[in-house]
Structure 1
Amino acid sequence: MERLWADLTQADPSFDSPHGHEPILRDREAALAGGTMGVSDWEEAKERIRRNVACK
């Protein structure tokens, strides 16, 4: 498992993010720096995702 994680966390110089991702990331970084967006720990984020995608 450790070898798999080490491989997955290596940067791949041949990988290009999809074209539309860069402006979204810039906007989110600016919102975080400006205090209009916060962060969650992973457990909180998973719970929020579960609530948002749960079948109703």
Structure 2
Amino acid sequence: MINVALESLSVEEKLRMMESLWDSLFYAAATIDSPNWRGEVLAEREQGVSNGTDQFESWEIAKETLRNQLT
């Protein structure tokens, strides 16, 4: 295990470290079990779309909505 004082790292170093962690998780994805609650949440969302109480919006609209909320 690697212990790093995060405060001592530059933003660029932290981003590189995060990228390495995500790459490592990506390549190990087949061995990682998804928790049961995720399947339950997905089933609830599918049910909401099926019965018309929920709907999808395009990624572009979602990004614009988030940008507007943050400004």
Taking structure 1 as the reference length, what is the TM-score of the superposition? 0.58
Q: Distance in 2 between matches of 1:51 and 1:16?
A: 36
Give the total of aligned pairs: 44
Q: What is residue 39 of structure 2 aligned with on the other side?
A: 22
Q: Distance in 1 between matches of 2:68 and 2:37?
A: 27
Identity score, percent? 32
Match of 1:41 among 58, 61, 64: 58
> Please, which runs of 5 or more residues in structure 2 have no aligned partner?
1-25
RCO comparison, higher one (Cα < 8 Å, 6+):
1
**Secondary structure at 2:53 match in 1:** coil
What root-mean-square deviation, in Å, do the aligned CA atoms of Structure 1 and Structure 2 show? 2.1
> Which one has the largest radius of gyration?
2
In the TM superposition, residue 40 of structure 1 has moved relative to its aligned partner by: 0.7
Superimposed CA distance per residue, residues 28-48 of structure 1 (whole angstroms, 9 cap, x where no aligned partner): 000000011111111101111
